[in-house]
Amino acid sequence: MQGFGEIFVGETVHLRKRPKRHFLRYRQFLLGFDLARLEGFAAQSKVFSHNRLNLFSLHDIDHGFGDGLAAFLADGLARLGLTPDDLQVRLICLPRILGYVFNPISVWLFYEPNGQIRAVIYEVHNTFGQRHAYVSDLSKETAAPFHHGADKSFHVSPFMPMDLNYAFTLHPPDGQGFQLQIVVSDAQGPLLMTRFSGTAKPLTDTALIGALFRHPFLTLKVISGIHWEALKLALKGVRLQPDPGLANGRISLAVRASNDLHGSADKGA
């Protein structure tokens, strides 16, 4: 990551295969922050602040489980026998825009001083105000993309049951872009595939304002889009699934997954 961070401008694709086929594609951007340089960027930026209202902002309370970011990151790494000491932390997420944000998923990456990725935390939010995290050790991976999987432990979509598993394919930031694909499967095979893919630009005020003009009110569009797509699924007759009331504010371990768990989120898949 060069400078203070990056803007990843791209698109998110969702393809649901069963019980009703449902496809969506929308343009968006994500920000990638080097946490060690976050205060420096906020100090020199006219449009971005840390823990203060601005056109764009990042607030610590939007992440973790309410006991502070340091405790959240330490707890996640402890599942892998690691500590945050000497690890560079990068966060990829939506910022607040005019004070509002909803992040379906935020990605925390942890790097050794030599630049090798050591671990990843996927922080997942649902629209009911709950949060969960999946953590994976990447130290034994030799090259991207990284593949790992986890049993579903957290109620996200009310149209999806709990007896599912996730297969993650992570292309970490490389100066050119960033991509994350998640394949959700049940006993019959892949059920839902979702992917964000974006190209990288340096994080500057000019780039932020340009992204805002291309994607006005993005964070409001994300939450409104989730409810709009939910309405369309309901009209298609997809059944609601009850919330089991489990796993809020917890961390699950994601393990290495075989490549045959991974599919494509392309429309024709």
Kindly report, residue by residue over 106-152, the tens digit of the pLDDT: 999 999 998 899 999 999 999 888 899 999 999 887 788 999 999 99
The pair of structure tokens assigned to 85 is: 């000491």
**Maximum Cα interatomic distance, the chain, rounded to a whole number of Å:** 52
The DSSP code for 79 is T
Tokens coding 217:
């009110």
Please say whether the beta carbons of 193 and 269 come within 8 A.
Answer: yes
Residue range 9-20, pLDDT digits in tens: 999 999 999 888
pTM over 0.85? The answer is: yes
For residue 102, the one-letter residue type is F
CB atoms under 10 Å from CB of 131, counted, come to: 21
Confidence of residue 38 (pLDDT cuts 50, 70, 90): very high
- Owner of token pair 């401008």: 9
CB hemisphere CA count around 82 (13 angstroms):
23
Where in the chain are the domains? 5-261
